[in-house]
Structure 1
Amino acid sequence: MGKKEQIDAQQILEKYDKENQFRLQIGKWAWVVTFLGVALTLFHLYTGYFGTLPSQKQGAAHLGTALGIIFLLYPAKKAWMRTQKTVPWYDVALAFTAMYVTYHKIIFFDSILQSRISGYSPLDVLISIIGIALVLEATRRTVGLPIVMVASVAILYTLFGKYIPTQILSHPGFSLDRITTNLWFRESGVFGTPIQISAKFIYLFLFFGVILVHTPIGKFFNDLAFALTGRYTGGTAKAAVVASALQGTVSGSSVGNTVASGSFTIPMMKRAGFTPEFAGATEASASTGGQIMPPMMGAAAFIMMEYLGVSYAVIMLAAVVPAILYFTGIFIGTHFEAKRLKIFGLPKSELPVLKTLIIRNGYMLIPLFVIIGTIMYGFTPQRAALYGILSAFLVTLVRKESRMSLRDIVNMLEQGARVALPVISAVATAGIIAGVVSITGLGAKFASGIIALSGGFLILALFFTMVACIVLGMGLPTTANYVVTATIAAPVLINEFGIAPLAAHMFVFYFGIVADITPPVCLAAYAGAGIAKANPFKTGVTAVKLAIAAFIVPYIFIYNPILVLVDVTALKLLLAITTALVGMIGVSSAVIGFFIRTSRVWERIVLFGAGLLLIIPEIQSSLIGLAIIILVWFIQKKRPPEEGPRKAAVV
């Protein structure tokens, strides 16, 4: 990647990814940021190995240090990130105030526990108000305004619930003292399950990803993808899908993954003959799938583990089949688009040799195998992450060019904290929203509303839940979105409609993720469009078409949870996967408009329906769907092929 392309990539990240909008110059405070960042990472490595502190203390050290770094790094306005030459005095004051009010929970831990019985003092109330306000401001700076608005409305709802005219939503209301102390000092608010999971597991897995970034594993993934798919029809686009799927195993950021791999793959797809919109959409949809791609997945997967009371291995295995279907759908979509445009693969002489690549660089996959192996063997995610971190560090020592100096190691430890900042602030604010749900009983009220709207019909309840997840996802990060919907929406599906808990939680998890590519607010698609110089809205629409599996598969595993490995046998699973993969051919060809010839409107409708019948894991429906697809194949085979120039891909 040239220097100009690097600059463009950074500008796109700053524009669409809030977490990259930090000050570029902070003067002498850079030493403080480095110290706090390194200390935070070492704290998590230490507690990960020797045992975590009591959850409230662990969460306080985790959040307090992160808040201090956020106020030193992130300006109050985006425009100031380039103009400010140091950290202004008021942000320094906010940083140390935030650390104090959070560390206060550690310093006065025993007396705070006693206050739950005897009552909180005026100082406790003041500290809780300041703490919540600073969490919201830190979240606004690192994640954006929408989630802060949702949390603020939630707090106002708790205060003034008695003035709401709708009987379903109204409640007696609570005093400010009770709300703030509940949200700050108890386990159902800021320091609830989300921040505890972040402090125990998520931080370590994020740091694992940071170490892998310091190895040439990204380039290895790209080379591996081109070696596997580059010579086939539409090879550049297929390689982008495979590379993004591989990158997704170590990255949980849709926008970050889009920019990191898209800076390389999108220009290649355009040169091969794909439209800018299709190139940007392919990268965005594939990169978004990284959050559902085991073993890493998005941070929300670890919170799901805690909510469901299952091991991470269960979550990881449940995500495998849906992830395969998701990426298969995109892969097949690029194939049909390439066939339609007559775009063929790269010359074999210009591609990496797979055997040579594996022999020379295959060792880079060891950390991923360590993570998967330790989790499947029964180790806790915490211990698995530590072993993964150790193996990843050892991988950096294999080659001279990837070995790190002491300065590189310090920088890596600091980067571990920087990468975690948006996640930490997001889950803290999500904890506020979850706390409001707990205090006010909003979950039961939401359940009543969904049941009333759906008339007791599951399909309508699922549709309304999907809409809620996507709308929330337009303003909330995936992790925060999952916390909210898992608190409010998932229990409705479980308790009122008898849905398997794992399937219900995976449903809301999926639709929170696809918000990143769903117009009108589709940040991953916008980032892809920025690199491709394409129309953002058209790119988003195309991304939705390519990622159609993400909108279909969740409905399928709600009705038949075989796809998430609930009540499954080996034979049933094999049959379900086989028919679903064939079904994706029908669905993908329908949305692209090409099968073996350009499809007519009625053929697209029929192919889409046949694909759905195949994805549904039932013998009769699958046989009908297969017969329809074969029939359309024969009909199109009899038509003469369309004329058009063949395009050979170029690097």
Structure 2
Amino acid sequence: MPSDQPQRPADAPTDVVAPGMAGLRSPDSLYGRAAFWIGVGLALLHIWFNTFATWPELMTSVIHFAGFGVLCALLYPAWQARSRAAQRVVLGIDLALAALSISLVAYLLLAEQAFYDRGMRMVWHDWVFTMIALALAVEFTRRTTGWVIPILILASFTYITYWGAYVPGMLTFSGLRTDTMLFRIFYTDDGMFGSVARISASFVFMFILFGAFLLRSGAGEFIVDFAKVIARRMIGGPGFVAIIGSGLMGTISGSAVANTVSTGSITIPLMKRSGLPARTAAATEAASSTGGQIMPPIMGAGAFVMASFTGVSYLTIAAVSVLPALIYFLSIAFYVRITAKRLELAPDPGPEKSLGQVLRENGIAFFGPLGVLVGLMIWGFTPSYAAGFAILSVVAFSWITPRPMGPMAVLESLALGTRNMVLTAVLLVAIGVVIAAVTISGVGNTFSLMISAWANNSVLIAIALIALASLVLGMGLPVTAAYIVVATLSAPALADMITRIEVINAIAAGAVPENMQAILAMGAPQYAADIGLPMARSQAEIVFEAAPLEMRRTIVESILSRDLVIAALLTAHMIIYWLSQDSSVTPPVCLTAFAAAAIAGSRPMATGVTAWKMAKALYIVPLMFAFTPLLTGSLFEKLQVTVLTLAALYCIAAAFEGHMENAVGVMQRILLAGLCGALIWPELDPMFQWTAFAVFLGLLVFNIRNASKPVRASLQVDRS
């Protein structure tokens, strides 16, 4: 493999600005230098908050928003000014917004106790500062993400205070007074400075800061070198470099677009030089980088929100995500290998470095801190504490590598972490307005009832509806915001449907407590004698549906253990979390694919289509969550599901490309598509699925034996 490719600095900022934004101010400008030192101070303050401080949660959340509001005002100008006069106006606006951000902290320090003393009755200055908080949320999200989230915030606020009363049907809401809504979004746990803001200020920030330290210590260069060594003798090796490199980079960044622009500048030229088409190279990087959000141990910000929503520890979420993440990355690897075989590309034996040399140079700087992080979480430390100690371990481990981190490197890491956190921080705080509106109005419950009615208790149809909703929302929202909104609206309905399946299965198995048998018999007296005994699943469904509605919750809690109910909720959220990633690689709006296309020089929409094909596991794996024990079963059950799912994903990739190890004809492609369906279709007899797996293996062996075409040398020209 060529070793003379340009290397992107491991500590290069990975800020990505939404299309149409004015752009970031240069780090070398006066404002950038001011942001550097403010970022250092803000990072140290957050480390203190998350380790030793015992400040009130509302105060830490407001300081979190105010600090990142100042950075947002300095780094993201109000608009791109051309003339000097306009630049002075923009600077004045930005400095004023920075001052207003700081004023929120002063307000809370000086006026919070008085507010409680008068019975939480708002006076004029409460109005002023709560309105300032709302206005800043709108403006800062406009600067960092575009217009969709500000419009959503304003629509949510005015729905509660004004126009909700004019909406007909189930979504009507009589409304709250403006001061009541302002109080709810500022002071309550469902508002801007509630649970999601606390997650942002603790788990999310500490992990992003940990990632920044890892990058600055040389982990980025190690990841690329390590991937090159591992994949150098594989057919389509540069594609595997992108998959392995982006997967490992995802463990420290958790951002799809950031992964693409950091590793893609290295891997995409490598893939093109090896002979892969530019479109395929860009799509491979985009699909691989999207996996950073689902790759443990550091997943996207949404995973921390999921932990809060479900009450399941982040460590548990990361642990159950390992096999699904491997399925996702292996599915991309199948596509890359099949494409390389179709193009008859040969493996490239480079680079000259050995695995031992790569591990000695920077391996300890990457695996050491990750081991500390995971070990501390297993030992029982909170994610924030674990991340804090892991940050210290990055510095310590760096001193036994060729790149020891000195004081300036530590300061740069602190500043880089806060700089990379700006967009996420203002987004997670601002989205609290939407959460408050959904909670106050009951729209979430209404929407869940609508999904249940439309799906007619079909989990498959419900997943399809949620996938459509997440795709539409993802066209305008970052994936974390899309997950939060969709989960708030639809997770309860999906969890109830999954729970319903478990209850019906338990009734069919006869696992009904005696105190519930009489209640179930009241609704279905024709089956009274059979309740408590094994029965047909169709009969069990009739028994459950006939039970009184007001007793459903009691029946569920009596028949199912608490762990099963929590598992159903986790499954629902995991399905939504995976589906919320699809907008990164699904046309017509797929920013990750577009960013990769810009690096590769390929057509954006064609790249998006190819990335969508490569990332098809984003749609198939959630079905496995719902209908198989991939998340909740024993290790043996999980491995069985993994094998069948991987076979299905290979089948669909081969059907798309018309190639396995050798070319396949039209009838074989149809057979492969049918095998894919048989391997993953819900509720098929396991014997039928393993028979389909045996047919797949036979077809693969037959194809390998016929793979007799000579392999030509790796091409040295780019293909479009």
**One-letter amino acid matched to 1:471:** V
Aligned residues of 1:230 and 1:351 also touching (Cα < 8 A): no
- The reply on whether 1:398 has 2:400 as its aligned counterpart is yes
Aligned twin of 1:532: 600
Shift of 1:534: 0.2
Shift of 1:362: 2.5
Shift of 1:122: 2.5
Aligned twin of 2:456: 455
Aligned twin of 1:547: 615
Pick which of 221-230 and 28-37 moved more.
28-37
User: Greater Rg, structure 1 or structure 2?
Assistant: 2
Shift of 1:601: 3.5
Give the Cα separation in 1 of the matches to 2:8 and 2:701: 48
Q: CA RMSD in A?
A: 2.9
Shift in CA distance, 86/390, structure 1 to aligned 2, threshold 3 Å: farther
Give the Cα separation in 1 of the matches to 2:117 and 2:668: 70
Pick which of 419-428 and 47-56 moved more.
47-56
- The reply on whether 1:592 has 2:657 as its aligned counterpart is yes
Give the Cα separation in 2 of the matches to 1:635 and 1:239: 29
- The reply on whether 1:577 has 2:579 as its aligned counterpart is no
- The reply on whether 1:189 has 2:191 as its aligned counterpart is yes
Aligned twin of 1:356: 357
Pick which of 390-399 and 181-190 moved more.
390-399
Shift of 1:267: 0.7
Shift in CA distance, 496/600, structure 1 to aligned 2, threshold 3 Å: same
Give the Cα separation in 1 of the matches to 2:230 and 2:405: 28
Give the Cα separation in 1 of the matches to 2:687 and 2:254: 38
Shift of 1:390: 0.7
Shift of 1:599: 2.7
Shift of 1:49: 1.8
**One-letter amino acid matched to 1:269:** M
Give the Cα separation in 1 of the matches to 2:409 and 2:580: 36
Give the Cα separation in 2 of the matches to 1:39 and 1:623: 58
Alignment map for 1:408-419 (pairs within 5 Å):
408-419=409-420
- The reply on whether 1:329 has 2:331 as its aligned counterpart is yes
Segments of structure 2 that go 5 or more residues without pairing to the other structure are 501-567
Q: Please give the per-residue CA displacement for 1:403-426, whole angstroms capped at 9, x wherever unaligned.
A: 33x343333222222111111111
Shift in CA distance, 339/164, structure 1 to aligned 2, threshold 3 Å: farther
Give the TM-score of the pair, scaled to structure 2. 0.84
Q: Please give the per-residue CA displacement for 1:244-299, whole angstroms capped at 9, x wherever unaligned.
A: 11111101111110011010010111111111110000000001101100000101
Pick which of 573-582 and 128-137 moved more.
573-582
Shift of 1:130: 1.6
Shift in CA distance, 480/162, structure 1 to aligned 2, threshold 3 Å: closer
**Corresponding residue pairs, total:** 644
Aligned twin of 2:46: 44
**One-letter amino acid matched to 1:529:** A
Aligned twin of 2:697: 630
Aligned residues of 1:472 and 1:481 also touching (Cα < 8 A): yes
Pick which of 184-193 and 409-418 moved more.
409-418
Aligned residues of 2:17 and 2:145 also touching (Cα < 8 A): no
Aligned twin of 1:249: 251
Shift of 1:647: 2.8
Aligned twin of 1:505: 573
Alignment map for 1:373-384 (pairs within 5 Å):
373-384=375-386
SS at match of 2:348: coil
Shift in CA distance, 160/232, structure 1 to aligned 2, threshold 3 Å: same
Aligned residues of 2:296 and 2:318 also touching (Cα < 8 A): yes
Give the Cα separation in 1 of the matches to 2:327 and 2:707: 32
Shift in CA distance, 650/96, structure 1 to aligned 2, threshold 3 Å: same
Aligned residues of 2:345 and 2:711 also touching (Cα < 8 A): no
SS at match of 1:108: helix
Aligned residues of 1:13 and 1:527 also touching (Cα < 8 A): no
Give the Cα separation in 1 of the matches to 2:174 and 2:245: 53
Aligned residues of 1:494 and 1:504 also touching (Cα < 8 A): yes
Segments of structure 1 that go 5 or more residues without pairing to the other structure are none
Shift of 1:558: 1.0
**One-letter amino acid matched to 1:359:** R
Aligned twin of 1:620: 687
Shift in CA distance, 142/553, structure 1 to aligned 2, threshold 3 Å: same
Pick which of 284-293 and 594-603 moved more.
594-603
Aligned residues of 2:14 and 2:258 also touching (Cα < 8 A): no
Give the Cα separation in 1 of the matches to 2:657 and 2:325: 20
Pick which of 153-162 and 191-200 moved more.
153-162
SS at match of 1:329: helix
Q: 1:176 aligns with which of 169, 178, 183?
A: 178
Q: 1:563 aligns with which of 630, 633, 641?
A: 630
Aligned residues of 2:275 and 2:717 also touching (Cα < 8 A): no
Give the Cα separation in 2 of the matches to 1:297 and 1:186: 28
Shift of 1:52: 4.2
Shift in CA distance, 2/66, structure 1 to aligned 2, threshold 3 Å: farther
Shift of 1:648: 5.8
Shift of 1:456: 3.0
Pick which of 549-558 and 354-363 moved more.
354-363
Shift in CA distance, 6/161, structure 1 to aligned 2, threshold 3 Å: same
Give the Cα separation in 2 of the matches to 1:394 and 1:488: 45
Shift in CA distance, 616/371, structure 1 to aligned 2, threshold 3 Å: farther
**One-letter amino acid matched to 2:650:** I
Q: 1:210 aligns with which of 196, 209, 212?
A: 212
- The reply on whether 1:261 has 2:266 as its aligned counterpart is no
Give the Cα separation in 1 of the matches to 2:82 and 2:309: 40
Aligned twin of 1:494: 495
- The reply on whether 1:89 has 2:92 as its aligned counterpart is yes
Q: 2:672 aligns with which of 595, 599, 607?
A: 607
Give the Cα separation in 2 of the matches to 1:640 and 1:221: 33
Aligned residues of 2:171 and 2:446 also touching (Cα < 8 A): yes
Give the Cα separation in 2 of the matches to 1:126 and 1:635: 74
Q: Please give the per-residue CA displacement for 1:187-246, whole angstroms capped at 9, x wherever unaligned.
A: 211012111111121111111011111111111111111111111111111111111111
Q: 1:522 aligns with which of 571, 586, 590?
A: 590
Q: Please give the per-residue CA displacement for 1:455-480, whole angstroms capped at 9, x wherever unaligned.
A: 33221111111111121122112222
Give the Cα separation in 2 of the matches to 1:621 and 1:105: 64
**One-letter amino acid matched to 1:591:** F
Give the Cα separation in 2 of the matches to 1:643 and 1:344: 10
Give the Cα separation in 2 of the matches to 1:548 and 1:469: 15
Pick which of 169-178 and 284-293 moved more.
169-178
Give the Cα separation in 1 of the matches to 2:6 and 2:364: 32
Give the Cα separation in 2 of the matches to 1:400 and 1:11: 22
Shift in CA distance, 114/536, structure 1 to aligned 2, threshold 3 Å: farther
Shift in CA distance, 6/246, structure 1 to aligned 2, threshold 3 Å: closer
Give the Cα separation in 2 of the matches to 1:338 and 1:421: 40
Shift in CA distance, 333/25, structure 1 to aligned 2, threshold 3 Å: closer
Give the Cα separation in 2 of the matches to 1:637 and 1:36: 60
Give the Cα separation in 1 of the matches to 2:283 and 2:392: 36
Q: Please give the per-residue CA displacement for 1:574-611, whole angstroms capped at 9, x wherever unaligned.
A: 32223333333223222332113223344223223323
Shift of 1:615: 4.5
Shift of 1:633: 3.3
Aligned residues of 1:22 and 1:81 also touching (Cα < 8 A): no
Shift of 1:620: 2.0
Aligned twin of 1:473: 474
Give the Cα separation in 2 of the matches to 1:30 and 1:470: 35
Pick which of 442-451 and 279-288 moved more.
442-451
